[in-house]
Amino acid sequence: MSSGNSTRGPTLIDSLRDTLKDLYANPYPEVENPVGCKKRASVALVLRIRPSYEHEAAVLEESGHSGSTTERLDGFFSQSWVQHGDPECVFIKRAARVGDRWTAHVALPGGKRDEEDESDKAVAIRETSEEIGFDLTSPHALFIGNLPERVVSTSFGRQPIMVLCPFVWLWTGPEIPAFKLQPTEVASTHWVPLRVLLAPSARTHEYVDVSDRFAHRGSVFLKTIIRSILGKMRFSAIRLTPSESLYCSSTVEFFSPPEENPALKASLTTRLYSWYLGDHAGVAGSNRPLLLWGLTLGMLADFLDQLPPYNAVELWSYPTFTSRDVRFIIDILTIPLKRKNQARLQSSEPKNETAIDSETEAVSGDNPWFIGGLSKGMEASKKGKNATRSYAVGILLENYYAMARRGVWISAGIRAITTILFGLYIVRRYRQRVGR
């Protein structure tokens, strides 16, 4: 810590340095695939320091590529331009693709593991190069370590999808090479300051249609009925304000005249249906704000938990539905659970709490890693202190989705009974009038 910070506590730069050194010294253990789930995927959290305007002219040469990772971190963060810089990380916005569950979502660069990949880390390196043309094997790209790996499951099911492995790199130069975006995969990239991710004013919500997860094999009619009962599901989110963005001009969502854009030529009924579903695809996606939520936000929680401000869990809200009656019943059912989890949270260590949640569901069972989008804690006695660390939102969401599902079906049952009784009442009144 610099002497100038002795009276006001650590700066964000100081906290970032300490966090990266901690991640390097305390790697998280590898998570094995559950039985019946063979897929693995990796993503890259790439960090950089943007020089301030006042210190840009005073940028010094790098402290060198030799020495241990800890020595390189100390040398890098000791530079004046770094101490006065703005730490940022890069996100991608996925290209709009029909049938893609994550179409046009904000994410980290990465993808699934292929048979020829040597390791999970190699997947993150390869996919980052393929998607945005960024070389993580460069001497300037300092590999830090990993964030908690987790088994990702379906939101309202028990089926594991894949094991997701996040890795962290720090770019140690003042300038970064230009990205080269893959048009079929990436619509745009965005450098976002960490202070935006930590700001209370950036907190918002994302609304998602989840009717297909209650009636996965059901008809469109059944899903429409469920959608009319539930409305949409509301998740905590962060509205991103990038400092720098790069757009892939060859993608449809960048710009297409009406006569060339298939989305604009769709029928009015199709467009209204897509709007009702909250469809992110096509040109509509380019007009939406950049929202970080769901699985990617869950992964960032593991990193943001270690940075100030602390006790940010007060900004967080439980995932719920927009229908008032459904939300009311879920709130009633989960009151004891919320109190129990809150008591567990207050007695847990460490107490860094970040306001995050995920689209995917924490699944109960013997495997403590079986959680979608959030780490639920570590298996005991593996390696380093990170082998037993638990996280605020993982504790708060324990068993919550199971209770929420119960509330949904109770609400649906009440509506069905009410509808039947109302229908019988109408029929009875009609017969009374006809009989007069």
Between CA 353 and CA 388 the distance in angstroms is 16
pLDDT tens, residue by residue, 150-195: 888 765 546 788 999 999 999 998 889 999 999 989 999 999 999 9
Counts of helices then strands in the chain (DSSP H, E): 13, 13
CATH number of 12-254+266-351+370-376+387-435: 3.90.79.10
What are the angstrom distances between the C-alpha of 311 and each of 351, 352, 354, 376? 7, 6, 7, 18
pLDDT reported for residue 260: 54
Give per-residue burial for 240-273: e unless 16+ CB within 10 Å, then b.
Answer: bbbeeebbbeebbbeebeeeeeebeeeeeeebee
pTM for the whole structure: 0.78
The pLDDT, as a whole number, for residue 244 is 95
Over residues 287-317, the pLDDT tens digits come to 678 999 888 888 887 788 778 765 555 667 7
Please tell me the predicted confidence (pLDDT) of residue 138: 95
Q: Tell me the CA end-to-end span of the chain in Å, nearest whole number.
A: 90
Q: Which two tokens stand for residue 283?
A: 């040109």
How far apart CA 73 and CA 307 sit, in angstroms, is 17
pLDDT of residue 4: 42
- pLDDT given for residue 390 in this prediction: 45
Question: What 3-state DSSP class applies to 28?
Answer: coil
Domain ranges of the chain: 12-254+266-351+370-376+387-435
Which ranges of the chain have pLDDT less than 50? Answer: 1-8, 157, 263-264, 277-285, 349-384, 387-390
The sign one gets for the Cα dihedral 297, 287, 209, 250 is negative
**What pLDDT sits at residue 394?**
64
